[in-house]
Structure 1
Amino acid sequence: MEHLPAVDVGLMSDHLMAHEGMLQKLRTYQEIATSHDLKRILALQYNVMSDHVRVMLKLIDPNYTSYVELAPINMTLLEQNSIGHFGISQADHWIAREAHTSAKDMANTNFTSALMMQNQNVRNVHVEMALQQLKMMELYEQFIHRIGGPFIPRVSNEEQLRTYNYFQALFSN
């Protein structure tokens, strides 16, 4: 890898510090969770983020000269059959919500960082990392919906139509 711009190395250094904490948190969540489905999603995210660490270390290594790519998400981990079912605990609810928020935050951070990065390989990898975290976020959303779903406030049809009409008029000039 060529000499990287300081901004790229700085952002990846910050990301690696965050990944250390996030990986430890995911391990802890796997120990606490009772739902086999949630444990599999947590394990998958752990694997995804471990690969992100692997890739960033290669990108930072001045002796590594090849193009670096992320491994695809291994969805087969989610397809394993559960042996026994312990139900959904209260901890499963908060773990799923917090892990969902963490995946969303990581996706946002990776994409925002990619916009600031200068090296094309570093930028491309971080866009892919953002997309992988988006996929993890969606998996947590699916799990949350299966266990009772999130509270999502809705506007009335009247308010939605009023909003539509306002912007339709604004942009029809």
Structure 2
Amino acid sequence: MEERNELYPIFLKVAQLNVLIVGGGNVGLEKLTFLLKSSPNAKVTIVSIDFNAELLKLAKKHQVKLVESAYNDSLLEGKHMVIATTDKIDVNVQVYKDCKAQSILVNVADNPPYCDFYMGGIVTKGNIKIAISTNGKSPTLAKRLRQFFEEVIPENIDELAKNLNSFRKTIKGDFQEKVDTLNDLTKGIVEKK
């Protein structure tokens, strides 16, 4: 049987969730950068004994709370999502176990068996956002696909989305008639020539 990606993609309103990043090094910086690029108002706390200088700079530009401490499970209180990024495997695994015990979504960086979710490639053009997943198999491929979509999706796609939203509000008829009208109107976007 062929392996397939069974991940369910969702878009989280992380400005309304409490996110904890455990670890303030290069991987912590990478995950924070990724999160804030997509959601600049994300509510993030980072706990670490030391903090990367670039991470400190980025944290100051946003509403990121820094806790200078070793990890302990009391830091999970009120958290919805946790990303473990330390260079100590035993600490990351403990974070995973503590999160699982409290039903908190967790991602242990670069360790797929200890992940409830992956942070895939993201393309954003205004209100349009596309997430790319390789099921944890190849972050490099996700990056290349992200670059491809950033190039081929026109900059004015957001204007199209706004115009379609306005038009959708004016369409008469039942749900199916509205769907059919919008499908007819937008089919040229993906038609192969």
TM above 0.5, one fold?
A: no
Larger fraction in helix? 1
Q: Which has the higher contact order (CA 8 A, sep 6+)?
A: 1
Question: TM-score with structure 1 length normalisation?
Answer: 0.26
Larger fraction in strand? 2
